[in-house]
Each structure stands twice: as structure tokens, then as C-alpha cells.
Chains A and B, each alone.
Chain A
Amino acid sequence: MTYIAKPPLRHPTLERNKVGYTRRDYEGKISTLCAGCGHDSISAAIIQACWELDIEPHRVAKLSGIGCSSKTPDYFLGASHGFNTVHGRMPSVLTGANLAHRDLLYLGVSGDGDSASIGLGQFAHAMRRGVRMAYIVENNGVYGLTKGQFSATADQGSKSKKGVVNSDSPVDLVGLALQLGATYVARSFSGNKAQLVPLVKGALQHGGAAFIDVISPCVAFNNHPGSTKSYDYVREHNEAVSRIDFITGREEITVDYGPGEVVDVRQHDGTLLRLRSLNTGYDPTDRNQAMAYMQQHQARGEVLTGLLFVDPLATDLHTALNTSDRPLNALGEADLCPGAAALQKLNASLR
């Protein structure tokens, strides 16, 4: 058995939402990610958001690329169809799926390696096309699944677990999404459920391309030399028993901070992350202002979180293509095939 199903037991008194589902109905298989991985907290937020929105799980299609983050759709919404595509290419597959059936809700899950490196092009084009979806990047600054290489969102000057210093500037996906025309742009932190859940809910209900960059610490990335809890240290001292990879579990990092507040979050590797939640007075409907505001805070070493931009009247690719209200995958011969008589006419025009 190479997967772990959750036991189907349900407590009979579990609270049900308007469409009759309990929170358990929005869960999936048991996660195989490292204990304490930020990605699991994001899965929990998605579960919470869908339950609260009274979404029928089977009306969601969840698509992802490749990476630890991209594995997570298996761990929530078990009654939805899921698609783990290829590395960095979830946006195109989601675009095609969306074109085929416009009536489902599309949830795209990706990592920073997946979206900011190999998939940067697809990320950009999905944003500019206005594909209706909630696109969530679980951003940990590293390649988790391939074990700790820098991703393109890693900060300049940061050190990898192998001690290599990153000399490249980081890609800011939020800035890009804003510039490329995404109509719902937010950033959050995996451990801030109070902020993340409403943001996911907003993204799922949005009428166009919604993007959330979620900072999501990686446990395995806690690996600086000298730490006795580091990945390498544990493996060294574990040799007598086995040579398999071993990652120490960590407490999930959670934070709680109100609008306008700043918190310092110590990550698994000891680094500090300074998060500032948007002020209640902030107007998120002005794209230019959002970009300037974000950059000002970035210059101060702060990472701005919350809903940065939204166009409440956003439309999507289907509007642009003027596609039929009836989903394309539901059209039959009568709607699609011009028939034999039309073909005869066409033949005649080709003589």
C-alpha cells in the first residue's frame, strides 16, 4: 500500500453545512508530507473554506503540477476529481479543463519551483488570459520534493542547506500577477488561518483569475550547519539503523495578527520573516496603488499580506472567447456537426 486512506468513520454529531456535508467530507487521503510542513496548513484552510462556502466537493476540479505542494490536492476534497499534471504546467491543463466545462470550480495548486521557475511562462499566461480559477502557490523558497535546491523565489543572499549562497534576485509572483492582469491578488502565510481562509474563499468565488501566494515554511529546509536537528545531522547519526531519508517533524508554525499589524515569524531554519497585514483602510481595487504599496513595504523588509487587489467586476476567458453558456463538453452532434448537406455545399465551392 503506497497511500494512506483516512478511516471512513464519522462522528454522527459533526456539524453539517447548507449542502449537507460535514468538514470531514472535504478531507482527502492522509498527508505524506513532513510533519509540520506549511503545505498541510494550506490544505486545512482549503477544506475550511470549501466547507464554509457550501461548495459541493464534486463540483471542484483540483489541478496541480509536480512538487510537495502539488501533491496536496490528494489530501483534501477526496470526492473531487484531481489531476497531478507535469512540472510547472498546471496552468495550461487547467485552462483546457476550464474551457471544456465552464461550470465547475477550478482550484490550481502549485509550488514556487513549479510556478516561478519551470512554469513561470504558464503562470504568466494563465494570469493574462483571465482563466477563472483560484491559483494557489505554496511558496517555501525551495524545491522541497527534490530536496532543498533554491527556487526562483528564494531571497538574494540566502543560503541553501548545502551552504550555497543564492546570488539571483527573487521572482515576486504577486508583483507579476498584478502586472499581468490577474483580477484577484493576495498573499498570506500558511500559519495564519484567520487570514488565509477568507482569502481562499474570496478566490474561489472570484469571477476571473485569482492568485494567492502563500508563504509556507518547509521543515526539511531547516538544515543550517551546526544544528543538531538538521536533516544532515540526523542522517549522520542515524546511519547505524538505516540509510533512508529522515526528516524530523516540527511544530506547525502558526501566527495570528490583526489588520495593519506586523509580526515576526521565526521559520524552521531560524530565519525571521516579517509579515505585515494590510490595513483596514487599504483600497484593494486600485491596481497601480497596490503595486506601489507592495513595493514600498518590500523595500522596508516587510512582506505585505492580505488581499492586495481585486476587480469585483472581473470577467474571464470564456467571456473573451464568447463561448456558449452550455459547457463545451456537453454539446453533441446536433450542436457541433454541420451535417452532410453543408458538406455537399462546401464540396461544390471547392470545384
Chain B
Amino acid sequence: MKPIESINDFVVKFSNVNGSGSASANELFAKAILRMGVPVSPRNIFPSNIQGLPTWYEVRVSEAGWLGRRGGIDMMVAMNPQTWDADVAELEPGGYLFYDSTRPLPPSKFRSDVHVIGMPLTEICNAVYSDPRQRQLFKNIVYVGALSVLLEIEPEVIEKLFSEQYRGKEKLLASNVQALHLGRDFAREHLKAPIGIRVRRADKVGDGIFVDGNSAAALGCVYGGATVAAWYPITPSSSVAEAFQKYCGKFRVDPATGQNRYAIVQAEDEIASIGMVVGAGWNGARAFTATSGPGVSLMTEFIGLAYFAEIPVTIINVQRGGPSTGMPTRTQQADVLACAYASHGDTKHVLLFPEDPHECFEHAAAALDLADRLQTPVFVMTDLDIGMNQRLCRPFVWEEGRRFDRGKVMTAEELEAGKDFGRYKDVDGDGIPWRTLPGTHPTRGSYFTRGTTRDPYARYSERGPDYIYNVERLLCKFRTAADLVPQPVLRLATEPTRLGVLYFGSTSPAMDEALEVLTDEGVHVDAMRLRAFPFPDSVAQFIAAHDRVFVVEQNRDAQMRSLLVNELEIDPARLVKVLHFDGTPITARFITTAILKHVQAPALAAPRRDPELQP
């Protein structure tokens, strides 16, 4: 058996028990490699449970900078007896199986084509530590120490990470360093090191930052000027609100008075959280909520009201495995249709699709501008994969002096000057009416907001023509939105081709890699990354320019494809589904295989002849 040999290009997966404290040790492993200048992309794979069930942490190390999941595992750190068989089976031939050898296992539990590295972790820790919790926690650090020897990760880098983490907590720092060296010493003395997969210092990280999408979206809300946040806890979105709280505490406390320039309410449910956002938006504050699919379901009546009554609302939807509470801690892009058409009646909503934390930041800030400009709900459609995993991405940027786009708000002065105010009147031809905020002027500009139809001056009306004027204006506004939203990113193949691929959101890094692999295989595909709904004209043009367009998405029902077919009136036969929906993030392998299969299918298909056709 030939062991896998690779420098700076491999996948390590940690298999742990939820609640055992492994998360921070595994993160330490990933960060140390990153600090050595080698890009990593880690993913937490965890059950909907606090303690006891299996949990995994998969780290892809890729000097080439591929951040999507690759598929396949080169080294398994198998710390969970419960999932042993499946974990062992997942290894690539020639891969490495690292395990706690304190308790002997029968030979049948191993594979002959993988390289087994046993280390009596429990025994070592029991000998050194007497406290049961310490035995458990330091076991994780001890295996990181051993791995640092096996994979040649510089111990100084890990120690520096410790010193940053435990600044001011000298005792904790010392005991962690001790545990690290306990692992290193054992590995040096008893294990054959280094192994075939190794880390070597490089300079491929550049000025990239390492952050999760939820924190980034929260920061985008701070920079975008959100002052009211109302939320209700739901995985995987809760950390958006929690991070917003943290950043506001840091940036939004008036230094002179100690008063907060923000208000955060943990509402009693999602209906109340969106209700508060609607009220705040109506009253001129920038407001947002963060939720996930089941929360969106509860919010839909209000979303319809906000659409029809034309109130700015920002919703960050961190999507997860659906429907309802299907796979609450697994990722999917399965709320595309539910959000695009959320609520009763004829509604259409603006959706933004960030590809990574960098864009979570940008799109969250942009959503607040768009919501004000368009006076409508705007969804930022992230997912668990971007939201809860730390990603290496471009640093955040903010143009000094950037102004918020507050949209068309008529002031007291304009009203005083006698400017005609019709709340639902299209004066500029873009479908967007002017609004006034409560309290603006003693005698002019007040109006009544409601979900029922009204005339252009906001007076209650059930006349058909008034209704039609109103809803057609809303459509006109939606067309205006197509020019204002982030535009798609086009990436042409190196050679002219009839094949195209459309993708969006967290599929991005896997797609980047898949496109390169396909090119290497001689298959050329033009790619367009969708960044928003409504679709700008360039999307229809892209589809028209290709014979076959793959639509890659992470849901069962090809929801984006349905949206394209429906909104652009495309012949469905031209859009080929590439669907990944098992709850894990899509891999480059999956995309490449699906596209190659399709490309080769006509050639490989068995000859077929219509039985009616006789020679």
C-alpha cells in the first residue's frame, strides 16, 4: 500500500463527540496552518444536539487556494468510537488513520489499504491529569501536538496562537503549552514522523482574513447603519444577532453619554421580530432581522404587508436543510422560492446571494441601502456553510465617506414648499414613490399605511383601476431593482463554448475549482455567478448565448432553475439541473462529475433504434 504523499494539499477530518471540547483544538489546528501561509478551509459538521452525538471538523489544506470541499479524506483523526466504521470507510486508499490506541481494537476494525497511527491518548492524559474534565479537554490538545509532529506544523505558531487566546490568563496558557508538548514528545519518541502529508511554510494567504459569514453579515449591518435589530434564536442564524450585539458594544456606544446608538430586541418569536423591523422601517430607522427557513415561514404575512405597504425591511436568511426543521444543522440553498415569492398574493422580493463572508459584509450593507431605496423587503440569502464556518476571504473594505442611500424621503421643507405628495404615486417613472416619516410636518404629508388597496394618495380604495395601478407600479419598481442589485459575475472559458453554468452563493469556491478541473479535462464552460434576484438582462443574454446551461444548486427541487424558467420564460430543456442536497456543502468533485457525465452522455449512450424503423 502506497501512502498518500502530498505537501500543502490534503484533507484532514476530525471525528469527535459533541461537547467534548474538541472544537477549539480543531480550530487551532486549522489556524496554525493558515498562519504558516497555507490556505485552509474548515467546515464544522455537527448534529442538532448539544452533547453526546457525533460531530466532525473537516479541514482542507490547499496551497492552490481552493476553498470549497474537495471530497474524500486523506487523514482521519478518529476520536469517536460510535462512528468508527463509517469514518474508516471514508478514507482514501493510502490515507492515514490516527486513533486513540488506549483500548485495543480487533484487526477487523482496520483497513489494509490505509496507514494506521495509534497513540494511547487516554492513557497519556490519565497519567498526567487527575481532573476528569482536564483529562478530556487536554486530550484534544495532545492530539494536536502529535499531529504537529506528524504533519510538520511549527510548534511556535501554535504557541503564539495560545498566547493570543489566553492573553492575561497565564495559567491557562502554560497548561495548554504543556499539553501540546506532551503530544509532541510522545509522537517524536514513538511514532514514525513525518508522514506523507505535510505542511510547508508558504506565502499564499496574502492579506486574506479568516472569518465566518454570520459575523461578517453583522458587521455589514453595523457599517450599513442598522440601528434596530429584532430576532428570535434559530440555528444557524443566531450568531448574526449575537455578533451584531458584540460589534455595537464596540462601535456604537456614545462616548460622551454612554448611551447606545442601537436597539436590539430578542423577540418572542419570528412574527414579532419581523413586526418590529417593519415598525422601525416604517418610522425611518434601518432595521433588520436574521433568521432561517422556519422563521421565514412565520414571517411571511408581514413580508407581504411590507411589500405591499412599501416598507424597507432587511432579512438575513441563513439557510439550512429544509423543509421546516428537516436538517437544522446542515446546509442547503433551499429557501430560494420561499423567499422570492414569500407571502400571499402576488409578491416578488429582492434576494442577494453572497458567496463568502466578504460578500456577506457587502451584501448586508447593500441590503440596507436597497431596502430604503426600493422601500421593500430585501433578503440576504446566506447559508450555514458560509454563515457558521470560518472562511479565508478578501478583507472587508469600506470606502471612506460612503453615504447611506436613504431613498426617497420627503422632508418638511419640501412639503412646506408645496411639493405634491402622493404616497403611492409614481412621480419619477421608476415605480418608487416618495414617502414621509411620521412626525414630519404639522399639516402636510401624513398618510395611512395599510395592507389594503389605496389610491396614489394613500386613500383607502377598492376600485379595480386603483389596485391595478398599484400592483403594476410594484412590478415596475421590481424592474428598477434589477439595475440596482449586485450584478452577476461573468467568467468566460479560455475557448469559445456552447456550454454555460449558472451558480450562486456558497457554491462559489467549489465551482471555481470545478471549472479549472473541467478545463484541464478539455471541457470548456462559460460561467456566470448570480448575485441577486431580480435577474438583470445579462442573465437572459447569457442563457441565450449557450445551447446548454447547467444550473448548480444545493436543493432537491432546482429552485433557482424554476425561478429562471418562470421569470425569464426560458425553455426548461435548456437548463440542466446539477443538484446537491445531502446537507453537506457541495464539492468540486460533485460538480465536475455531474457536468462531465452530461457532456459525455450522448457519446456513451447505447445505440438505440426505434423498433418501428425497419431497414
**Chain A contacts to B: CB under 8 angstroms:** 1-3, 5, 56-59, 61, 63, 73-74, 78-86, 89, 91-101, 103-104, 121-122, 124-125, 129, 317-318, 321-325, 328-329, 331-333, 335-340, 342-344, 346-347, 350-351
Q: Would you call B447 an interface residue if the criterion is a C-beta within 8 Å of the partner chain's C-beta atoms?
A: yes
Chain A proximity of B506: nearest CB distance (Å): 19
In the bound assembly, the distance between CA atoms of A1 and B278 in angstroms comes to: 29
Q: Would you call B408 an interface residue if the criterion is a C-beta within 8 Å of the partner chain's C-beta atoms?
A: no
Chain B proximity of A131: nearest CB distance (Å): 10
Top 9 closest A-B pairs, CB basis? A96-B279, A92-B275, A100-B285, A96-B276, A81-B438, A93-B279, A329-B284, A100-B283, A96-B280
Contact sample, A vs B, 28 pairs, CB 8 Å cutoff: A57-B442, A58-B441, A59-B439, A80-B438, A80-B446, A82-B446, A82-B447, A84-B448, A86-B302, A89-B275, A92-B274, A92-B278, A93-B282, A95-B276, A96-B285, A100-B283, A104-B283, A121-B272, A124-B268, A321-B260, A322-B258, A323-B261, A337-B402, A337-B404, A340-B400, A343-B223, A344-B395, A350-B395
Partner among B265, B278, B398 whose Cβ is within 8 Å of the Cβ of A85: B278
B449 near A82 with CB under 8 A, answer yes
Chain B proximity of A327: nearest CB distance (Å): 8
Cβ contacts under 8 Å, A78 to chain B: 446
Q: Identify which of B67-75, B181-189, B190-198, B204-212 touches chain A.
A: B204-212
Contacts between the two chains (Cβ within 8 Å), count: 238
Partner among A129, A325, A338, A350 whose Cβ is within 8 Å of the Cβ of B265: A129
Interface core residue of B268, B283, B442 (most chain A CB under 10 Å): B283
B259 near A96 with CB under 8 A, answer no
- Extra inter-chain contacts (20) besides given A101-B285, A324-B257, A335-B261, CB under 8 Å: A83-B449, A85-B451, A89-B275, A92-B267, A92-B275, A95-B276, A96-B279, A99-B280, A99-B285, A100-B227, A100-B282, A104-B439, A122-B268, A321-B263, A321-B265, A329-B285, A331-B227, A333-B225, A336-B261, A343-B397
| Proximity bits, B337-351, A CB within 8 Å = 1, else 0 | 000000000000000
Closest to B227 in A: A328
| Proximity bits, B242-283, A CB within 8 Å = 1, else 0 | 000000000110100111111111011101111111111111
Closest to B453 in A: A2
Cβ contacts under 8 Å, B440 to chain A: 58
A121 near B268 with CB under 8 A, answer yes
Interface core residue of A5, A81, A99, A332 (most chain B CB under 10 Å): A99
Cβ contacts under 8 Å, A337 to chain B: 222-225, 398, 402, 404
On whether A340 and B272 interact (CB within 8 A), knowing A74-B460, A96-B277, the answer reads no
In the bound assembly, the distance between CA atoms of A63 and B208 in angstroms comes to: 48
Chain A proximity of B507: nearest CB distance (Å): 24
**Chain B contacts to A: CB under 8 angstroms:** 205, 207-211, 219, 222-225, 227-228, 230, 251-252, 254, 257-265, 267-269, 271-285, 287, 301-302, 305, 395-400, 402-404, 436-443, 446-452, 459-463
On whether A329 and B265 interact (CB within 8 A), knowing A79-B446, A324-B257, A347-B209, the answer reads no
In the bound assembly, the distance between CA atoms of A252 and B261 in angstroms comes to: 48
On whether A81 and B446 interact (CB within 8 A), knowing A92-B279, A97-B438, the answer reads yes
Interface core residue of A5, A58, A73, A82 (most chain B CB under 10 Å): A58
Closest to A81 in B: B438
In the bound assembly, the distance between CA atoms of A329 and B436 in angstroms comes to: 13
In the bound assembly, the distance between CA atoms of A2 and B453 in angstroms comes to: 10
Partner among B227, B254, B396, B441 whose Cβ is within 8 Å of the Cβ of A346: B396
B276 near A347 with CB under 8 A, answer no
Chain B proximity of A72: nearest CB distance (Å): 12
In the bound assembly, the distance between CA atoms of A239 and B585 in angstroms comes to: 65
Closest to B229 in A: A99
Chain B proximity of A17: nearest CB distance (Å): 14
On whether A97 and B260 interact (CB within 8 A), knowing A81-B446, A351-B210, the answer reads no
B209 near A351 with CB under 8 A, answer yes
In the bound assembly, the distance between CA atoms of A136 and B287 in angstroms comes to: 26
Cβ contacts under 8 Å, A331 to chain B: 225, 227, 261
Cβ contacts under 8 Å, A318 to chain B: 263
Cβ contacts under 8 Å, B263 to chain A: 99, 317-318, 321, 323, 328
B284 near A81 with CB under 8 A, answer no
On whether A339 and B400 interact (CB within 8 A), knowing A93-B278, A100-B279, the answer reads yes
A84 near B449 with CB under 8 A, answer yes
B398 near A2 with CB under 8 A, answer no
B279 near A63 with CB under 8 A, answer yes
B283 near A122 with CB under 8 A, answer no
On whether A93 and B276 interact (CB within 8 A), knowing A100-B283, A101-B439, A346-B219, the answer reads yes
Chain B proximity of A180: nearest CB distance (Å): 12
Cβ contacts under 8 Å, A99 to chain B: 228, 263, 265, 276, 279-280, 285
In the bound assembly, the distance between CA atoms of A96 and B295 in angstroms comes to: 18
Closest to B400 in A: A340
Cβ contacts under 8 Å, A57 to chain B: 442
Closest to B267 in A: A92
On whether A96 and B228 interact (CB within 8 A), knowing A80-B438, A89-B272, A121-B268, the answer reads yes
B284 near A100 with CB under 8 A, answer yes
B275 near A79 with CB under 8 A, answer no
Interface core residue of A80, A86, A337 (most chain B CB under 10 Å): A337
On whether A82 and B448 interact (CB within 8 A), knowing A61-B439, A347-B209, the answer reads yes
Cβ contacts under 8 Å, B227 to chain A: 100, 328-329, 331, 336
In the bound assembly, the distance between CA atoms of A104 and B222 in angstroms comes to: 25
Chain B proximity of A105: nearest CB distance (Å): 9
Cβ contacts under 8 Å, A79 to chain B: 442-443, 446
Chain B proximity of A26: nearest CB distance (Å): 13
A328 near B447 with CB under 8 A, answer no
In the bound assembly, the distance between CA atoms of A346 and B216 in angstroms comes to: 11
Partner among A84, A96, A103, A129 whose Cβ is within 8 Å of the Cβ of B451: A84
Cβ contacts under 8 Å, B223 to chain A: 337-338, 343
Cβ contacts under 8 Å, B275 to chain A: 85-86, 89, 91-93, 95-96, 122
Chain A proximity of B568: nearest CB distance (Å): 32
In the bound assembly, the distance between CA atoms of A147 and B443 in angstroms comes to: 36
B259 near A323 with CB under 8 A, answer yes
In the bound assembly, the distance between CA atoms of A170 and B269 in angstroms comes to: 24
On whether A350 and B211 interact (CB within 8 A), knowing A329-B437, A336-B261, A338-B222, the answer reads yes
Cβ contacts under 8 Å, A92 to chain B: 230, 267, 271-276, 278-279
In the bound assembly, the distance between CA atoms of A86 and B452 in angstroms comes to: 10
A89 near B302 with CB under 8 A, answer yes
In the bound assembly, the distance between CA atoms of A344 and B219 in angstroms comes to: 13
B461 near A324 with CB under 8 A, answer no
Interface core residue of B399, B403, B451 (most chain A CB under 10 Å): B451
B398 near A339 with CB under 8 A, answer yes
Cβ contacts under 8 Å, A73 to chain B: 448
Partner among A3, A96, A336 whose Cβ is within 8 Å of the Cβ of B460: A3
In the bound assembly, the distance between CA atoms of A344 and B442 in angstroms comes to: 45
Cβ contacts under 8 Å, B305 to chain A: 85-86
On whether A81 and B439 interact (CB within 8 A), knowing A92-B279, A328-B285, A347-B209, the answer reads yes
